[in-house]
Structure 1
Amino acid sequence: APPAAAPAPAAAAAATGDRGGDAEPAPPAATTDAPGATADTDEPVQTKEQLAAALAAELTAVDNDSIAKKLSKLQATRRDLTSALKWADEEPDKRMKALKPADRLQLATQLVELAAQQETVADQQHALVEKLGVAEGTDEEIEAAFAKDTTAQAQRAKLEADYASFDAKAEKVLDRLSKPMFFDSPAYTAQQEQAYASLVAKGKKQFADGQTANEIGDKFTLATVFMTVSLFFLGLSPIMRRYPMKATFLAMGTVVATGSAIFMFMHPLA
């Protein structure tokens, strides 16, 4: 008999409604009826997706572009999620219907043969352990026995490789019955990794720019400190009675102020 179709994921069943006899009825869809409308209204009932599309069309024209962009992203995310759940619910049935009964019988026959070959390999592995006299031993004793016998160790490695090859062949047969989930596909994984790498690169760039800005800010802070010191010297110069002291403070203030100005103009924010 042909194998039964693979069950849909639980998330898809919850989103689309289980088709089993014990499933609860889905809640009624929202409508755009005005307040006071009765159930006898002849206007067609709109689904949540139709209401969301109508709301997006109205809010797209608002003056605030950021709100419109966020709404568009939200709608796209909802559409992608709905499509993924629908795909997960319908894909197994489509794959099974695409295979003719003869093809399904052939796949089932291949799976049975592979299972029999794996069982034979498992019996050979058990016989090899019995040959070493450690069939009733612990895992440590079995490993120690194989470590002492290189020939048996090579035979076990070959049997394990055969068993793994049968597993791989069985996976290929099962892949013909149903495609992998969308989040298991290489394209989806590569897309997510690319988005992650882009965010990491953007974050590193912002961090480096922030460090550069902090360094420039620290240098400007140092320049303002020197400028304050120069103003202090220039302020003391007029109150000095002796001319040499006046000249000294005036010269010190001028030198410090000039150096601070040059230091500030050497940086981008000057």
Structure 2
Amino acid sequence: MVANDLAQRIPDEDVAAKRAEALDGVLHQASPSEVIESALRIVGRERLALVSSFGTESAALLKLMADVDPAIPVIFLDTGWLFEETLAYRDRLIAALGLQDVRSIRPLDEALQREDPNGELWFSDPDACCRIRKVEPLRRALTPFDAWINGRKRFQGGLRGAIPVVEADGLRLKFNPFANVTPADIAAIYAQAELPPHPLAVSGFLSVGCMPCSSRAQPDEDARDSRWRGRPKSECGIHTVKT
């Protein structure tokens, strides 16, 4: 049974990859708004979601999405380890941008009780912590959707340095509207729309995730350098594991 399921899945994933490659060829120089508009037109609102951390640069993408259609579903992974400032910022942006369908997704209680009963997994095995608090919840949240939008940028470096505008994520399409943008582009969106900054940005946080694994950046560091400091890890897994 498993072999039959796998045999059926492989051709489907090949089709998704070829479709993503063709779309990337069309949209590789499109503006972020044009990418979002295209995703909405191709997939439809009911089958498209935007995934946002409501972090230090999130308001820019959320603003552009709201300008296209504020009713596009937004998935927010509430890991249980987020800063209170992030939760407050989420609520502030929902109101300011008129977002109509923000879904806060939490890890399963049984998974936490089984694998992280003392809340110390982030220290002993951060990959496992990310899996139960982010990767698995996102997999559940994306079940109804055929495509998703995220805010990764090439200038963030690391594994993000060569991301396409459109890629395949298993059987889903994955749109990266900000793949080509620069820090100046992001700053311009904030300035033009008078978007509020993340409360922690003013105190030196360039990238904000979970409390135990986020730190203030040094002057010569990129945003991703301040995540999982001192560990050979730069991604939580939602962008490296098929959803």
Larger radius of gyration: 1
Whether TM exceeds 0.5 here: the answer is: no
Calculate the TM-score normalised by the size of structure 2: 0.20
Calculate the TM-score normalised by the size of structure 1: 0.19
Higher percent of residues as helix: 1
Ranked by relative contact order (alpha carbons within 8 Å, sequence separation 6 or more), the top structure is 2
